[in-house]
Amino acid sequence: MAIHLTGLSNQSTVNKSERSQKDDAVGNAADKQNAVPSGGTLAEDTVKLSGTAQVLQNQQSKMNDLPDVDMDKVEQIKNAIAAGEYKIDTQKLASNMASMDSLF
């Protein structure tokens, strides 16, 4: 897209009809440059991913397919609690809580 500024240079003044003719000529030249040959198609933009990006994309799609919660593990813990067999390692719990606290 051309921007025509008038009155900013020392060039001679161009009347409106001359300017229209010049604009039409410039527009026609641009149209011819952007024209698609008959029977042809416009080239499409393409993206080529590197091998690492392809692996990451594949792993991301696999992760998206996984459920947010492992329901089998939840059921095992529920059953262990109900049977009175669920044991909590208080030392490990305290250690994990302390390590989480240090992150903040």
Terminal-residue alpha carbon distance, the chain: 54
Q: Does residue 91 carry a pLDDT above 60?
A: yes
Q: How confident is the model at residue 3 (pLDDT cuts 50, 70, 90)?
A: low
Residues 12-20, mean pLDDT to the nearest whole number: 57
Residues 30-72 pLDDT 10s: 555 555 555 566 778 888 888 888 899 899 999 998 888 999 9
d(CA 70, CA 51) in angstroms, rounded, equals 31
d(CA 90, CA 28) in angstroms, rounded, equals 81
Residue 29 or residue 69, greater confidence: 69
Lowest mean per-residue pLDDT among 39-43, 61-65, 79-83, 99-103: 39-43
